[in-house]
Amino acid sequence: MRIKALIISLTVIVILPALLWSENFKYDPKNKRDPFRPLVDRDGNLLPEVRPVSTTVELNLEGIVWSRKGDSYAVLGGSVVRAGDLLGDYKVKAIEKSRVILERGNEESVINLRSEEE
């Protein structure tokens, strides 16, 4: 009788919270790469990195490495991006010498690089 009661108690203590927790669980990568998302597609092509952007966090343009050849990079919100990359629900449309142009839906946003005096 005691063993049966112990098994029932353990079942309730272990399984019930797991069932309740799994329905409400949502992975939060905290602005890091989602480890559950593949890095390459079926053909072996590198997929663009997608990092979520919190709506409460302002996108700060921290730096630009610009090239006339189009191999430009920007550090935006702590992530290194290039034209065509996705950052949350923003797409990097273009990287210029002193600004980055982002698209979200039909909206276009421009983030200017601040000078050191600002």
Encode pLDDT of 37-71 as tens digits. 788 888 888 777 655 544 434 578 999 998 888 78
With a pLDDT cut of 90, the percent of the chain lying above it is 15
Interatomic CA distance for residues 101 and 91, integer angstroms: 9
Instruction: Determine the average pLDDT of the residues in 102-115.
Output: 87
β-pairing verdict for 50-51 and 86-87: parallel
Q: What local confidence, expressed as pLDDT, does residue 10 receive?
A: 75
Q: How many helices (H) and strands (E) does the chain have?
A: 1, 8
Give yes or no for a contact between 64 and 113, defined as CB atoms under 8 angstroms apart.
yes
In three-state secondary structure terms, 9 is helix
Instruction: Determine the average pLDDT of the residues in 29-33.
Output: 66
Q: What local confidence, expressed as pLDDT, does residue 101 receive?
A: 93
Q: List C-alpha distances in Å: 10 to 4, 5, 51, 67.
A: 10, 9, 40, 63
- Tokens 């098994």 locate to 7
Q: What local confidence, expressed as pLDDT, does residue 7 receive?
A: 80
CATH of the domain spanning 50-112? 2.30.30
Residue 99 main-chain phi, psi, to 5 deg: -160, 160
Whether the per-residue pLDDT at 18 is higher than 90: the answer is no
Is the pTM above the cut of 0.75?
no
Q: What are the boundaries of each domain within the chain?
A: 50-112
Instruction: Determine the average pLDDT of the residues in 18-32.
Output: 64
CA 64, 80, 95: angle at the middle one, nearest 5? Answer: 40
